[in-house]
Amino acid sequence: MAQSNQPNRSDNDSLLKRIQSIEQRISRIEEYLVKLQFRKDELSPSSSDFSKKKASPSGIEQDENGIEFKVGEFGLAWLGSVVLLIGIIFLMNYSKNIGYPIVSSLIGYFSVLCVFALSHVLRKNFSHLSFMLQLSAHLLLYYVSLLLHFFTPQPVISQSWIVISLLLIISGIQIYLAIKKQSKLYGGMGILLCLLTAVFSESLPLQFSLLLFISCITLFFLIRYSWWHIFLLFLFLVYFSHLSFLLGNPIMGHPLRQISSHGFNLLYLLCYFGVYSLIAPLRRKLLISDNLFILLLIWNGICFTFMLVMNVVFFYHDNYIGIFGILAFLSLIFSVILKSMESNQFEMSFYACFGFMALSVSVYGYSQLPNTFLWLALQSLLVVSIALWFKSRLITIVNTILFLGILISYLAYKNPTGMISFTFALVSFGSARILNWKKERLSLRTDLMRNMYLGALLTMMLYGLYHAIPQEYTTLSWTATAGLFFLASILLKNFKYRWLAICTLFTTVVYLLFVDLAHLELGYRVIAFFFLAGISLGVSLYYTKRIKKHKDNSSNSSESGTKAP
């Protein structure tokens, strides 16, 4: 019996040793996974889930404890910092209210030193809490310095420029720390403090200069760190603050009013627009999506246009022609530069369209109605040519929409002239020919825009002849126009002009039956009917002959096909 039990004991011992070795391996693996939990960049999703699901000694999973720890570490750090900041502010206000403004400032600066010291002590073991305390100290420093002159009945420092300089230094430190630490929060806070300093200064040159600086620093952050949130937000705030300054700075509690002098604000406004537009030539350096890039361009254009209109309403309603002319020139030059840099189609087309719209406003102010319609129609033909050079479908689409809008406005005008009507017809014909000639270069997949121009050609020919010649010759002139369309279809070998001729003939017949019969003398009626009948029969004979020829050719080809075997 003793001999039989001895092998069993040895087997049990070896089994126990194997189990112990396995347990040691598992414990080492667990320790390794716990260490990996703090190295998030090297964790895979599976190992992260595994480490989160490890049971704690109390048998409770760490999913809930993880949320608890995050709230305790990050959320309470935010809450504690805000509460501490508010408490110090209340203490300062209390000492100020009892008649000790200097003591209030000393309490504030002493509190700033204490918070900075506490942040320095906690920087190694409590990094996030140290970060929040440091940020709170910067904000408290700005607030304490602000109260040295502003928002207090008894200023400690009577010269505002000293306090403004101090506030700018504090804002600059925030921006420097944002660059040094690559912190988006510091960057946004520093720019915001700089913007608030501009608001508090109430000096238009300084305010506009600070806004220009903000536009430059936000562009730098976008290029260097891709902080597009800051760029998008402060792009709007810069233009909004500019508008607030034009309205008397109501943010500071002043009544809403228009400032008495423009203060060369339009030059600063153009500088904002230029700085923000630099994202177009720097597109390849921006690590943002194409949709976001387009959004930034359009948002800049919308804000600038609104502010430009407000400037014209406030200061330049009598002399805006040169302003829009200069803007058109600069925008078109900028689009040509983008084309030479082989930029994307959208940005160079966007600034070209922007320039042409500014040119349209300048043309309107220079020529006045109804001559404006003449020059805008000729400009439309120029834009189509530029679109052909740029190979831009966007410019073509925008120009077509604007041309149709101008055409409809002219048709609604009370005093049309034959010269302007025929100019519209000529421009429509030229634009249609250009689109047909180089539709591959413009990447046009359909003939929709070309058909729109042909429809405008038909409309303006009939409309122009109706107002340009005596009423008794309207039917004859329209019939002759149908003949010209038919002749153009033969010369250009394009069936679309035959459709224009057919539509013109039907329109002429309707006009003759319902209008001319009630007003024309008998002799004019006879001439009109015979002339219209001749043109109609001639066109009918042409179609009959053409169809017969087509049938003969098809029958001959079929016969040759059957004889070929």
Q: Are residues 124 and 188 in the same domain?
A: no
Note whether 255 and 390 are same-domain residues: no
For the segment 401-414, what is each residue's pLDDT rounded down to a tens digit?
A: 888 888 888 888 87
pLDDT tens-digit series, residues 361-379: 888 888 877 788 888 888 8
Higher-pLDDT residue of 443 and 156 is 156
Task: Clarify whether residues 146 and 168 are in a common domain.
Answer: no
Domain contains 330: no
Q: Could you tell me if 300 and 273 are in contact, meaning their C-beta atoms sit under 8 angstroms apart?
A: yes
Q: 304 and 217 in one domain? A: yes
Give the dihedral of Cα atoms 89, 94, 98, 99; nearest 10 deg. Answer: -10
Closest C-alpha to 403, from 433, 383, 419, 418: 383
pLDDT tens digit string along 25-38? 777 676 666 555 54
Q: Of 131, 126, 89, 132, nearest to 111 (Cα)?
A: 89
In a domain, 554, yes or no: no
Q: Residue 436: give the domain boundaries.
A: 336-468
Q: What is the pLDDT of residue 70?
A: 57
Helices (H), ranges, 371-521: 371-390, 393-411, 418-437, 448-468, 474-492, 496-511, 517-519
Q: Which pLDDT score, from 0 to 100, does residue 59 have? A: 43
- 514 alpha carbon, distance to own chain's centre: 52
Tokens representing 116 are 């900075």
25 and 147 co-located in one domain: no
199 and 348, same structural domain? no
Q: Measure the CA–CA gap between 43 and 45, rounded to whole angstroms.
A: 7
In terms of domains, do 14 and 96 share one? no
Neighbours of 309 (CB within 10 A): 12
| Domain-located, residue 326 | no
Residues 269 and 201 reside in one and the same domain: yes
| Domain membership flag for residue 140 | yes
Shared domain check, 304 and 174: yes
Contacts (Cβ under 8 Å, ≥6 apart) of 157: 148, 149, 163
Average pLDDT estimate for 136-140? 84
Tokens of 364: 């309107």
pLDDT score, position 12: 64
Report yes or no: 145 and 157 within 8 Å, Cβ to Cβ: no
- 167 is a domain residue: yes
Q: How many domains does the chain have?
A: 5
- 269 burial level (CB within 10 Å; 0-12, 13-18, 19+): buried
Q: What angle do CA 530, 532, 536 make, to 5 degrees?
A: 115
| Count of all residues that appear for the chain in the document | 565
pLDDT score of 562 more than 80: no
Q: Is residue 57 part of a domain?
A: no
> For residue 302, is pLDDT > 90?
yes
